[in-house]
Structures are given as C-alpha cells and as structure tokens.
Amino acid sequence: MYTLYYGRGTASLAIHAALKEIGAPYQLVEVDIEAGQQRSPEYLRINPQGKVPALIIDGKPFTESAALMMMLAERHPQSNLAPPAASLARAEWYELIMMLANSLGNNFRLWFYPADLAGTKEDSALRSAIQQRIESTWAMLDARLADNGPYLLGESFSGADLMLTMYMRWSRNMARPATAWPALQKYADMMRAHPSWRHITQVEALTGW
C-alpha cells in the first residue's frame, strides 16, 4: 500500500495519476498548501523540505516528483509508466524525465515561488526571464510532438506524459500558456481525455483543466 501526500493541482498530480495507472493499492492524504499544512511539524517529519508530493513506500517517505516517477516505474515493470529496463527507449525516457524536471519543474518553482531566489515577489525582470525559459521549452516540445507524436515517446504513452501534462496545466494562467503552441494544444486535448488524468481531475476537484 502506497500513501501519497498530495496538494490539489500541485507537483503531486503526476504521481497521483501514475498510482492510478499502476493499479496498486494506495491511499491519499491531502496537504492543504493554502492553509500552510506543509509546514506543520507532522508534515515536516515526512518531508523536511515542506513540499508535496511525498510518497510512503514500505513505511519510508520519499519525495521529488521526477524521482518518484522513476521509483514507481522500477517497482512496477509491467505498468505502462516506462519502456522496458535497459532498453534504448528507457534511456530516452530517463532523459525526458530529467529534462522536464530541470527545464519546467525548476522554472515553474521559481515562477510560483520567486521568493525562493530573489527574496521578493516583485522582480519583473526575473519573472520575464523565467517566462522566456518556459516558453522556449514549449517551443522545443511542440516541435518534438509535431514531428513524432502523439506521445513524448512517439506511439507509446508513458509516465513522462503525465509529468508534461502536469507542467502544461500550470501554465494555464500565463500570458502564453503551453496550449498556445498547436501541437501542444492537440496533446493537451488528448491527455485531458486520458483515463488516469480524468480520474485525478475528478478526485482533486480541479477546475479549468
């Protein structure tokens, strides 16, 4: 039994969907980010960084969404989260997971929590630089999907698609959201209809998309 500590619509989204894909038993514990529950002494014992997600595996807490995706893929080789271990497709999958986490995850963290870096929420030069970095990643991914879709690995769905869909959703209120790129718009329509994504949207009562 896995236990996922999640916040609605946050970096736990992809892991929530991955658990649904696997079909293994799991329970959810909501951490209310708006209410600051991530900084409660109880939660800090689970993740001293005070962030979600945290996943309890065999009684031990683990964090970092990209790492959790890799752990789940490894523990459930029959699932569709990743191509077979040691294959070239698996190597490409690792590359994708890390690229998404570095190019999108880190920049979105600064977008939503600019005080992490600048000590202020008012630094417009920083925000504009982050926005440009995120947009250049959308452009690169749009070209990739237009050339070799419909999924990141071509014909096969994988957990990398759950990561990308999560990050794309976070851009929905930006001046140029991911869906401003045509292949990404098509991809978003496909992924929003994907069963595990629809499931978590309902469970987390997400609006928008």
Sites for ligand GSH among residues 107-136 (CB under 6 A): 109, 113
- Please state the φ and ψ torsions of residue 48, each to the nearest 5 degrees: -60, -15
Please select the residue that binds ligand GSH; options are 30, 50, 92, 192, rule is CB under 6 A: 50
Bridge partner list, 6: 30
Cα–Cα distance between 3 and 31 in angstroms, integer? 12
Q: What is the per-residue binding string for ligand GSH in 6-25, x denoting contact by CB under 6 A?
A: -x--xx--------------
Contacts of ligand GSH in 56-95 (CB under 6 A)? 64-65
Place of tokens 């957990």: 159
Q: What one-letter code names the amino acid at 131?
A: Q
Closer Cβ to ligand GSH, 162 or 182, answer by number: 162
Beta strands 2-6 and 26-30, pairing class = parallel
| Cβ-based nearer residue to ligand GSH, 32 or 156 | 32
Determine whether 141 is exposed, middle or buried from the number of CB atoms within 10 Å of its CB (0-12, 13-18, 19+). buried
Least distance to ligand GSH from the beta carbon of 52, Å?
4
Q: Which residues bind to ligand GSH, rule: CB under 6 A?
A: 7, 10-11, 33, 38, 50-53, 64-65, 105, 109, 113
